[in-house]
Amino acid sequence: MSHIRASVEHIFGHMKQKGMDYVSSIGLNRAHQHNGLSNLAYNLTRYAFLKIAQA
């Protein structure tokens, strides 16, 4: 259980450091879109890092 929490907190810590934790939009749909785009940006960054590390 603690290893799952550690990996999830790492992701949220990264997002907070990059300023992705603050949503300044009105409406639940836009907040969901912001959250989805933040997750996509994190995943693309992580993918690029892993791809470079693999090479």
The residue extents of the domains of the chain are 2-54
Contacts of 38 (CB under 8 A, 6+ apart): 15, 20
Model confidence at 4: pLDDT above 90: no
Residue type present at position 4? I
Average pLDDT over residues 32-40: 88
pLDDT of 11 reads 81
3-state SS assignment for residue 11 = helix
Give per-residue pLDDT as tens, 17-35.
Answer: 877 677 788 898 998 998 8
Per-residue pLDDT band for 54 (boundaries 50, 70, 90) equals confident
Average pLDDT over residues 39-48: 91
Whose CA is closest to 40, among 15, 17, 19? 15
